Amino acid sequence: MFWAFFLCVLTAVAIQVPLKARSLIEFHKEITQIDSEVGNEYDVVHYLADYLSAQGLTVELQLVEEGRENVYAYLGEQRNTKVLLTSHIDTNPAGKIPYHLEGDEIHVRGACDAKGSVASQVYAFLELWDEQIIREGDLALLFVVGEEYNGVGSLTAVNGLNASWSNAVIVGEPTDNKLSVGHKGNFRFDVNAVGVSCHSGYPEQGFSAVEHLLERIGHLLQQEFPYSSLLGPTSVNIGTFHGGLAANLLAPSAKAEIYIRVAEDIGLVNQTVSRIFSTPHSTYSIVQMLEPQYLDHDVPGFELVACSYATDIPYFKGKSAKRYLYGPGSILVAHSAEEYILPTDLYEAVRGYKSIVKYNI
């Protein structure tokens, strides 16, 4: 079959790996201590593949890019399942945090975003299997690369894995163990400006790319975008800005990375960005454009929350009857120097994932 050329299938017979982590907390510690900043996910991918294979799951590695693979795992030979548990194994490039405890808090990069979800999903799967609640064809696990940049892992899985999940896809991200009713879309783009360098004492002889790009960004920040009663306001973040060569000459070039969290009407956002940045001196390129998402939240017993961040869940639209967003930890610490999670959050997430799965099988 077509997909066979792109997948490496591992089985418990083919590879024997000793069970390192004897508990949920130890497993979480193992995977968070493996550096997997976006683009550098190889080691954690293969740790997870070996770990899941050792538990008796069938494991496939799907090539995304050179040195980058997704992990897909299920029971027996049935690749198509009723429900999918999925999260991302890359971490945000916000700087490393050595694993350490502060009281009950587990501090480490990826603690909640999103290796807390990964660990909880794995243990939810294993407990459901041990309790004989799931069998072959009921549940699969998918752990992807690249969510923190452009979603390439989930996009590759949806388009090339050749698997289906009829009833539900459950995406793991930090929601404080609440079911998300929806989240903002994102419009992420790069912009480049070109100037004419000259002596800064004679600015009329040149054209400053830095000044031009700052002016264009100023126009963007003055825009009033539509407000969503469910998701709140659209927000704009100028993530990076680089330009110029020295203070005594006009800048020949400048560039910026900009991220707009879209609450409503992504088409209007696209038109506005085009109007502002399509000039004789500047161009822009879209990195990612995903609409706001409205999600299923029908499982009894959960608090509900609307989220201001974006996830890989848009890629799964139309791939299953329902889509859920749920996971342990707070997004408010996810990209910070103080990222942490509580052990109680992880245990509660296992119970939560099990409840959502049981509701949908």
How many angstroms separate the CA atoms of 240 and 251, rounded? 17
How many angstroms separate the CA atoms of 164 and 318, rounded? 11
215 catalytic, yes or no? no
What DSSP state is assigned to residue 338?
T
| Residue 149 CB coordination number (10 Å) | 16
Annotated active-site residue in 147, 148, 173, 339? 147
Element (H, E) at 271: helix 266-277
Beta strand pairing call for 58-65 and 7-10: antiparallel
The CA-CA-CA angle for residues 138, 143, 144, to 5°, reads: 135
Both structure tokens of 108: 């480490």
Burial of 180 (0-12, 13-18, 19+ CB in 10 A): buried
Helices and strands, number each (H, E), in the chain: 7, 17
CB 46 within 8 A of CB 128: no
CB 230 within 8 A of CB 250: no
Active-site residues, by number, are 147
